[in-house]
Structure 1
Amino acid sequence: MNDAAPSDAATPAGADDEAAWLQAARDALARTDAALAARFDRGEAVDRLVADRARAIDGLIRDAWARCVPGAAQLALFAVGGYGRGELFPHSDIDLLVLADEAEQHARRDALACFFALLWDIGLEASHAVRSPAQCTQAAADPTVLTALLESRPLVADIADRSALAASIAPDKVWPARDYFLAKAEEQRQRHERFGDTSDNLEPNLKDGPGGLRDLHTLGWMALRSFGARELDALVGLGHVGADEAAALEREQEALGRLRFGLHLVAGRHEERLRFDYQKTLAARLGYADDARNLGVEQMMQVFYRAAAIVRRVNDRLLQRFEEHFDGTAAPEPLDARFELRRGYLAARDPDWPHGDAAQVFELFATWASRRDARGLHSQTARALAEALDLVPGYAAATPELRGRFMALLRGERPVPTLERMARLGVLGRWIPAFAQVSGRMQFDLFHVYTVDQHTLAVLRNLASFGQPAPEDDRFATAREVWPTLRKPELLLLAGLFHDIAKGRGGDHSEVGAEDAQAFCAAHALPAADTALVVWLVRKHLLMSITVQKQDISDPVVIHRFATQVADRERLDYLYLLTCADIAGTSPKLWNAWKDRLLADLRTFTRLALRQGVEHPVAAIEHIAETRAAVRGLLSTHDIDDDEASTLFLRFPEYSFLRARPDQVAWQALALRDAAPGDVVVAVRSLDAGDHALEVFVHSPDRDGLFAAIVISLDRLGLEIQQARALDGPGGTIFDSFQVLPGDTRQPTSIAAIERRLTEALSGPLERIRPARRTQPRHLRHFRIVPRIQFDDGAEGGQTVLSLVCTDRPGLLADIAHVLRKRHLRVHDARIATFGERAEDVFRISEPDNTALNQDSRDALRDALLSRIDGEVKR
Structure 2
Amino acid sequence: MTDLPARQAEPSGTAGDTQWAQAAGARLAEADAELARRFAEGGDVAGLVARRARAADALIREAWQRSVGDTRDVALFAVGGYGRGELYPHSDIDLLVLAEPAAQASWRDALAAFFALLWDVGLPASHAVRSAAQCTEAAADTTVMTALMESRPLVADVADRAALADAIAPSKIWPARKYFLAKVGEQEARHARYGDTSDNLEPNLKEGPGGLRDLQTLGWIALRSFGVGEVQALVALGHVGVDEAEALERVRAELSRLRYGLHLVCGRAEERLRFDHQKALATRLGYADDDRNLGVEQMMQGFYRSAALLRRISDRLLQRFEEHFDGAATPEPLDARFELRRGYLAARDKQWPHGDVGEVFALFSVWASHGELRGLHSHTARALAESLADLPAYAEARAEDRSAFMALLRGPTPVRTLERLARLGVLGRWLPEFAQVSGRMQFDLFHVYTVDQHTLAVLRNLASFSTGESESRFSVAHEVWPTVRKPELLLLAGLFHDIAKGRGGDHSALGADDARAFCQAHGLGEADTALVEWLVRRHLLMSITAQKQDISDPAVIHRFAGEVADRERLDYLYLLTCADIAGTSPKLWNAWKDRLLADLRIATRLALRRGLEHPVAAGERIEETRAAVLARLSSQGMDGGAADALLARFPEYSFLRGDPEQVAWQAAALRDARVGDVVVRARFLDEDSQAMEVFVHSTDRSGLFAAIAITLDRMGLAILQARALDGPDGTIFDSFQVIPGDMRHPPDTDAIARDLAAALGGPLEGIRPARRTLPSHLRHFRIPPNIGFSASPDGRATVVSLVCTDRPGLLADVAHTLRQQGLRVYDARIATFGERAEDVFRVGDVDGKALGQARQEQLREALLARIDGEATA
Bucket of the pairwise TM-score, normalised by the shorter protein: over 0.9
Partner of 2:116: 117
* Cα distance in 2, alignment partners of residues 757 and 179 from structure 1: 60
Q: Deviations over 1:443-488 (max 9, x none)?
A: 11110110100000001111111101425x5211111111111111
- 2:698 maps to 700
Paired with 1:560 and 1:335, the residues of 2 have a C-alpha distance of 56
Q: Is the 8 A contact 1:81 1:152 kept in 2?
A: yes
Within 2, Cα distance between the matches of 1:169 and 1:854? 83
1:449 aligns with 2:448: yes
Alignment-derived partner of residue 528 in structure 1: 526
**Match of residue 837 from structure 2:** 839
SS at match of 2:258: helix
Q: In 1, distance between residues paired with 2:736 and 2:256?
A: 49
Q: Measure, in 1, the Cα distance between the counterparts of 2:65 and 2:369.
A: 67
Match for residue 810 of structure 1 among 785, 808, 811: 808
1:140 aligns with 2:175: no
Measured after TM superposition, the shift of residue 636 of structure 1 is: 4.4
1:822 aligns with 2:843: no
Partners of 1:643 and 1:13 lie apart in 2 by 98
SS at match of 2:137: helix
SS of match in other structure, 1:781: helix
1:744 to 738, 742, 745: 742
User: 1: distance between equivalents of 2:474 and 2:630?
Assistant: 28
**How big is the shift at 1:633?**
3.9
Q: Does the 8 Å contact 2:468/2:479 carry over to 1?
A: no
Structure 2 residue identity aligned to 1:460: L
Q: Which runs of 5+ in 1 are unaligned?
A: none
2:665 alignment partner in structure 1: 667
**Candidates 568, 592, 595, aligned match of 1:594:** 592
Q: Match of 1:681? A: 679
In structure 1, the residue matched to 2:226 is 227
CA contact (8 A) 1:799 1:852 kept: yes
**Aligned position for 1:717:** 715
Shift of 1:221: 1.1
> What letter is aligned with 1:812?
L
Question: Do the aligned partners of 2:77 and 2:151 also contact (CA within 8 Å) in 1?
Answer: yes
Any conservation in 1 of the 2:17–2:117 contact (CA below 8 Å)?
A: no
Looking at structure 2, the residues matched to 14 and 857 of structure 1 have their Cα atoms a distance apart, in angstroms, of 74
Deviates more, 1:48-57 or 1:175-184: 175-184
Deviation at 1:284?
A: 1.0
Q: Distance in 1 between matches of 2:746 and 2:29?
A: 50
Q: How does 1:621-660 map to 2 (within 5 A)?
A: 621-660=619-658
My pick for the range that moved more, 632-641 or 283-292, is: 632-641
Q: C-alpha distance in 1, partners of 2:796/2:355?
A: 73
* Distance across 2 between alignment mates of 1:64 and 1:689: 68
Does the C-alpha gap of structure 1 residues 327 and 753 become closer, same or farther in structure 2, counting only changes over 3 Å? farther
* Native 8 Å contact 1:334 1:340 kept in 2: yes
Please tell me whether the aligned partners of residues 477 and 596 of structure 1 are also in contact (alpha carbons under 8 angstroms). Answer: yes
What's the secondary structure of 1:337's corresponding residue?
coil
How far did residue 73 of structure 1 move? Answer: 5.4
SS at match of 1:731: helix
CA distance in 2, matches of 1:469, 1:120: 64
* Cα offsets for 1:578-610 (capped at 9, x unmatched): 100000000010000000001011111111111
Partner of 2:433: 434
Cα 1:641–1:135, aligned 2, differ >3 Å: closer, same or farther? farther
Residue identity opposite 2:711 in structure 1:
S
- Map of 1:311 onto structure 2: 310
2: CA distance, partners of 1:386 / 1:343: 21
Give me the whole-angstrom Cα distance separating, in 2, the residues matched to 1:13 and 1:753.
66
The equivalent of 1:730 in structure 2 is 728
Q: CA deviation at 1:545?
A: 0.5
Structure 1 residue 30, shift from structure 2 partner: 0.7
Q: Which residue of 1 aligns with 2:246?
A: 247
> What displacement does 1:519 show?
0.8
Residue 816 of structure 1, CA deviation: 0.5
| 2:362 aligned residue | 363
CA distance in 2, matches of 1:531, 1:444: 33
CA distance in 2, matches of 1:861, 1:822: 10
Q: Counterparts of 1:873 and 1:33 in 2: how far apart (Å)?
A: 41
Q: What is the one-letter code of the residue matched to 1:23? A: Q
Cα deviation, residue 175, structure 1: 2.1
Superposed counterparts of 1:224-623, under 5 Å: 224-470=223-469, 473-623=471-621
Q: CA shift at 1:698, angstroms?
A: 1.2
Retained in 1: the 8 A contact 2:691–2:737?
A: yes
SS in 1 for 2:320: helix
Aligned match of 2:199? 200
Mapped partners of 1:634, 1:257: distance in 2: 68
Residue 411 (structure 1) shift: 1.0
Post-superposition offset of 1:14: 12
- Rounded to whole Å, the distance in 1 between the matches of 2:311 and 2:455 is 19
1:262·1:282 contact (CA, 8 Å) conserved in 2? yes
Q: For the residues of structure 2 that align with 1:29 and 1:582, how far apart are their CA atoms? A: 52
Looking at structure 2, the residues matched to 145 and 796 of structure 1 have their Cα atoms a distance apart, in angstroms, of 74
Q: How far did 1:830 drift?
A: 0.3
Question: How many residues of Structure 1 are paired with residues of Structure 2 in the alignment?
Answer: 871
User: Bigger CA drift: 587-596 or 671-680?
Assistant: 671-680
> 79-88 or 166-175: which moved more?
166-175
1:2 and 1:74 in contact (8 A); partners too: no
Alpha-carbon distance, 1:176 to partner: 2.0
CA contact (8 A) 2:705 2:825 kept: yes
Report deviation, 1:745.
1.4
Cα deviation, residue 77, structure 1? 0.8
> Once the two structures are aligned, what percentage of the paired residues are identical?
72
CA distance in 1, matches of 2:526, 2:192: 44
C-alpha contact (below 8 Å) 2:827/2:841 kept by paired residues: yes
**Aligned-pair distance for 1:632?**
3.5
Q: Distance in 2 between matches of 1:212 and 1:685?
A: 46
Q: 1:2 to 1:205 in 2, by over 3 A?
A: same
2:796, 2:849 within 8 Å by CA — same for their partners in 1? yes
RMSD: 1.8
In structure 2, give the amino acid aligned to 1:804. L
Are residues 408 and 489 of structure 1, via their aligned partners in 2, closer, same or farther at CA, if it must alter by over 3 Å? same
Give the secondary-structure state (helix, strand or coil) at the position aligned to 1:766.
coil
> Are the equivalent residues in 2 in contact too, given 1:6–1:59 (CA < 8 A)?
no
Shift of 1:3: 5.4
Shifted more, 298-307 versus 606-615: the winner is 606-615
Contact 1:2 1:73 (8 Å CA) reproduced? no
Which of 759, 762, 765 aligns to 1:764? It is: 762
C-alpha distance in 2 between matches for 1:874 and 1:108: 59
> For 1:490, what is the secondary structure of its paired residue?
helix
Whether the aligned pair in 2 keeps the contact of 1:5 and 1:156 (CA below 8 Å) is: no
CA shift at 1:13, angstroms? Answer: 14
1:779 partnered with 2:777: yes
Return the alpha-carbon distance in structure 1 between the equivalents of residues 630 and 192 of structure 2. 51
CA contact (8 A) 1:344 1:373 kept: no
In the alignment, residue 372 of structure 1 is paired with which amino acid? G
Return the alpha-carbon distance in structure 2 between the equivalents of residues 139 and 751 of structure 1: 54
Look up the equivalent residue of 2:331 and give its one-letter code: P
Cα offset, 1:203, TM superposition: 1.0
Q: Check conservation: 1:548, 1:602, Cα contact below 8 A.
A: yes
CA distance in 1, matches of 2:424, 2:754: 56
- Confirm or deny: 8 A CA contact 2:592 2:691 kept in the other structure: yes
The 10-residue stretch of structure 1 (753-762 or 673-682) with the greater mean CA deviation from structure 2: 673-682
CA contact (8 A) 1:95 1:127 kept: yes
Provide, for residues 795-814 of structure 1, a one-character-per-residue CA deviation record: whole Å limited to 9, x for no partner: 13321111111111100110
SS in 1 for 2:24: helix
Which moved further from structure 2: 423-432 or 631-640? Answer: 631-640
Return the offset for 1:91: 0.7
Are the counterparts in 2 of residues 686 and 693 from structure 1 also a CA contact under 8 Å?
Answer: yes
- Tell me, in whole angstroms, the C-alpha distance in 1 between the residues paired with 2:220 and 2:116: 31
